[in-house]
Chains A and B, each alone.
Chain A
Amino acid sequence: MDSENNYIVQALGLGKQVASPEGTLIILDAINLAIKKGESLAIIGISGSGKSTLLGLLAGLDRPTTGKVILNGTDLNQLDEDGRALIRNQVVGFVFQSFHLLPNLTALENTALPLELAGAEQADAMAMQKLQAVGLAERIHHYPNQLSGGEQQRVAIARAFAGNPQILFADEPTGNLDHKTAQRIIDLLFDLNKENSTTLIMVTHDHAIADHCDRQVVMAGGQLTENL
């Protein structure tokens, strides 16, 4: 087996620079990272250190200035925006700090959205299953503004797993939740992760949560260091 195939996500010399009033700002400086299938990785670091930027590049939400990302065997640089959208839809799931549910859609419709985007036949039925799995079977016809923060994040998790992704990206998924709710969400996330044998890449600054992961990396000064 080719060594590359052991890694589901690979960052090679990944760099991101942006223009700022004070000149070019280097957010990420030639980062190398390789994540194995089924592995769970925590990215930690202080606010503004570039964690989200890295996550966005790994997930194909953005283009790097230098270097490349190989996701599930595909070089993302070779794809256009629609090509990357297809990868995001087929391979990747997301959980965000501020939930990001569409306010105009019900819990069920939100969950079914990625499936519908993929053109799935039984989108609603599959979405139902996932909502059951996150314990929201009773609330499927509720709109986001009728749900608590924890419930909204459960819907987001159901949505993230709806398309049976291989990799789940989570950006501070508990950042907007109280401690107790956060704990339950994290438990749910890891349970589902195990059940679906998904690769999990999670940004957090909560060390207790990071400790749940197989591996931790620290972002600082545009560089990534392994936290052993």
Chain B
Amino acid sequence: MNTFKFASVSLTRDWHSGELRLIGISILIAVACLSSVNFFTDRVRRATERQATELLAADLVLISSAKIRKEYITKADQAHLTVSLNESFRSVVTKDDKLELTEVKAVDTNYPIRGRLRTSDYLLGAEQYNDSIPAPGSVWVDSRLLQALQVQVGDSINLGAMAFVIDKVLTYEPDRGGDLFNIAPRLLMNRTDLDATGLILPGSRIKYRLLLGGDSEAIDQYRAYINTNKDDHMRVQGIKDARPEIKSALERAEQFLGLAALVSIALAGLAIAMSAQRFAIRHYDNCAIMRCLGLQQKQISRIYLYQLLMLGLICSLAGCLIGYFVQAALTQLMSGLSQQTLPKPSWLPVLSGLFAGLITVLAFALPPLMRLGAVSPLRVLRRDLTPLPVNNYLIYSLAVLALMLLGPWQADNISLTLYTVSGLFLTAILLALAAKYMLALLARLQPHLKMAARYGLANVTRRSNHSIVQIMGIGIGITVMLLLTLVRTDLLENWQNRLPEDAPNYFLINIQPDQVDGVKSFLAHALQYEIELYPMIRGRLTKINDVAVNPDDYENPRASRLAAREFNLSYATKMQADNRLVAGRWWTGESTVEPYFSVEEGIAETLGINMGDTLTYSIAGQEISGHVINLRWVEWDSFHVNFFVVSNPAALKTYPGTFISSFYIPESKRSILIGLVGKYPSITILDVDALLAQVRTIMNQVVRTIEFVFIFTLLTGIAVLFATLQSTHDARTQESALMSALGANRKQIISGLVAEFMLLGLITGLLSAIAASVIELALAVFIFKMDIVINPLIWLIAPVVCCLIIVPTGLFGTRKVLSVSPMLILKKT
């Protein structure tokens, strides 16, 4: 017989008789959730990346020490990328007898491609967005330059062979990053004036930049082209190479999103497994009859496999379609919240949706359906002949396998996937075990309870295997929801607390050693607290273990850049509070005379520095060597002054250097700074508020994204609840009809159900709270590496929320049971 044709015929027949509808809808929901998560996160991720691009003022930047070759620009034009060229160099600006070293940047009208410039009309004036660039003959400058040269807006200054009028104060420039502590004041000018300054000469140290903007595909293509056609003196900067704090924010966001998507798959799988189970049980008789009519086991198995594949494909496609619309609706909803328009959805989520749908269906629905092949034809005579249950290990391994298969490309992070899957698995087992013991304990209460409570408890404890699955299924969902709400808030708040409202907003640099005491007492008096000043000595890393350091030896561009640059070194007696030792010991006191180094773990890894290595630095023409005796973890997002390499005082104290500091000054107390500058004119003040605001915006966007994904996880959790309810639907209908025949009124039946769902909610809530707390601790310690105090509210909120979700959903899921006629009891079962 043609099993394929038979499978498609029975698919439509079973669909009409309503039996396959359940499993089909489960797949539909699963894929709809999954693909809308994928569509949406794909877009938001790209939007978030785009926002991060603001820090580059472009999507991609080529930086070169030689003029950018024409072919690169032509290629970019062909790819329809937005192109902007700029040159930057240091030069002296003069006004009368005063001169000041400035960072000149000559830009064209496309600058900046991402982000916006901000200017004010006079020193400390109101800041405004400005979408133009300086007109030829005029420049925009940092307030610091105005202070240094004692000039005002409207005055004229000299740069090279040309005189320029200061037109505006430049207050914000998206790609101002770089080394915060070493930049001279900025001067922004128009590129067309560049030749007239006469500053572009052979041998001038000029950085040429090509800024590029466009959709991510075109950018990726261009990047690939550059990587194969790169000049030696050129490097490429994309979003991923942007500042470390932005990078870590993005990576964490992806971790959260990957986690949520993976959990959605697992929950959907659970719903599908339960539906398939029910479908199989309902088809035992059918299969027995088919076997009697001469069908082979193999043929029956094949029929159901085909049926499943067809169903999986159709429903996955439909799910993708729904996912697309849900995502569009969500985007619409979110457009009010964010001023930014999201990039168009890509087609990738459709493919991944189909793939995930089929994998999920096969892994979770196939085992119970394959039992159908094993139905004995004798069942037509003896109804109790049920095929042996599938080996549970097979089910679990398939489920784990599917999650593994779906995990990595969801999370882009294999270790996270491993953590998640084993975490889910463990949680499921622990929830089931805990539920089992809890139910056994509760069963003893039953004789002491009154009507509704007793009936509810009986339903929960006597169907204990069923309840365990329900508690486990919903429990995983709720646990994840708790993780995503309460725990997420805990973790994220903790994370955001690294950028507290009083995060340092000013840096003081260039403090001379003889000014340290004066500055300290001035600020202690003005701010009412002691601030710390850190010594800073500049040195070039020349040798690691007597091997000369050569930037070209590093493949990693970041490593080679770091190796080429001068380090900001510091010395200290005690380790800074926001640092943590990861290897070795800190030196004790000032007693040590031998030079020691303490290295930040990230840079140690990048540059290949190990514990015990000898580092040699060249400082002001002298060489100093010392052993690395510890590695540190540094909380960079704190915006406190921190150093990659710190020595003991014995090593560096005698070298010439300056001091730096960071602190928070509220808006209302800015006048303190004017007093400080008046007293110590050589000290430079850097405003980091703008940078902080930028980072905070990105973090907020990340939080919002995760909240949206959370809604989908909630939906899959509810799908699981429905699947569990539907698997008890027949029994419930029968029981409800009986209760009604025995004289129970509607209210009594409802209160029985309410008691049952409330009990289920309380147990689930309690167990989920335990699970979520344990996971939170594990996440905090092992992944996010932060200390955490578990929110005590979880013990109240979890059971209440569980009841609020489970009771109404449960009543909705069993509403048909309420309207069942007691006559059912007289019908044949």
Contacts and interface: CB of A to CB of B under 8 A. Distances in A.
Chain A partners chain B: yes
Interface of A: 52-53, 55-56, 59, 61-62, 81-82, 85-90, 92, 94, 96, 98, 100, 102-105, 109, 113-114, 116-119, 143, 159, 163, 171
B823 A81 contact: no
B744 to A, nearest CB: 5
B580 interface: no
Interface of B: 446, 450-451, 454-455, 458-459, 461-463, 731, 734-735, 738-748, 821-823, 825-827, 829
Contact of A61 (B455, B744, B822): B822
A62 B823 contact: yes
Contacts of B746: 81-82, 85
A143 B455 CA distance: 14
Given A61-B823, A96-B825, 4 more contacts: A104-B461, A105-B462, A114-B743, A118-B743
B829 A89 contact: no
23 contacts: A56-B826, A61-B741, A61-B823, A61-B825, A62-B821, A62-B822, A82-B745, A85-B745, A88-B742, A89-B742, A89-B744, A94-B741, A96-B826, A98-B829, A100-B738, A100-B741, A102-B739, A104-B458, A105-B458, A114-B742, A117-B451, A117-B739, A117-B748
A94 B128 CA distance: 84
Contacts of A89: 742-744
Q: Which 4 A-B pairs have the closest CB atoms?
A: A89-B743, A104-B462, A82-B745, A88-B743
Given A104-B459, A109-B454, A117 B742 contact: yes
Nearest to B821: A62
Given A85-B740, A85-B743, A88-B742, A52 B826 contact: yes
Contacts of A163: 743
A159 B741 CA distance: 12
Contacts of A82: 745-747
A117 B743 contact: yes
A113 B742 CA distance: 8
A94 B739 CA distance: 11
Contacts of B827: 52
A113 B829 CA distance: 22
Contacts of A113: 739, 742
A55 B748 contact: no
A214 to B, nearest CB: 23
Contact of B735 (A85, A88, A102, A114): A102
A113 B823 CA distance: 19
A117 B452 CA distance: 9
A116 B741 contact: no
Contacts of B455: 105
A108 to B, nearest CB: 9
B823 A85 contact: no
Nearest to B824: A61
Nearest to B747: A82
A210 B50 CA distance: 86
A32 B739 CA distance: 29
Nearest to B744: A117
A82 B459 CA distance: 23
B462 A116 contact: no
A82 B745 CA distance: 5
Nearest to B731: A103
Contacts of A53: 826
B456 to A, nearest CB: 10
B743 A143 contact: no
B759 to A, nearest CB: 13
Contacts of A102: 458, 735, 738-739
A86 B745 contact: yes
Contacts of B454: 109, 116
A48 B743 CA distance: 26
Nearest to B457: A104
B707 to A, nearest CB: 40
B804 to A, nearest CB: 25
A171 B825 CA distance: 10
B454 to A, nearest CB: 7
B822 to A, nearest CB: 4
Contacts of A100: 734, 738, 741, 825
Contacts of B739: 102, 113, 117
A177 to B, nearest CB: 16
A77 to B, nearest CB: 16
Contacts of B738: 100, 102
A143 B461 CA distance: 13
Contacts of B826: 52-53, 55-56, 61, 96, 171
A53 B446 CA distance: 37
Contacts of B822: 56, 61-62, 88
Contacts of B446: 109
Contacts of A61: 741, 821-823, 825-826
Contacts of B741: 59, 61, 88, 94, 100
Contacts of A114: 742-743
A172 to B, nearest CB: 10
A9 B740 CA distance: 20
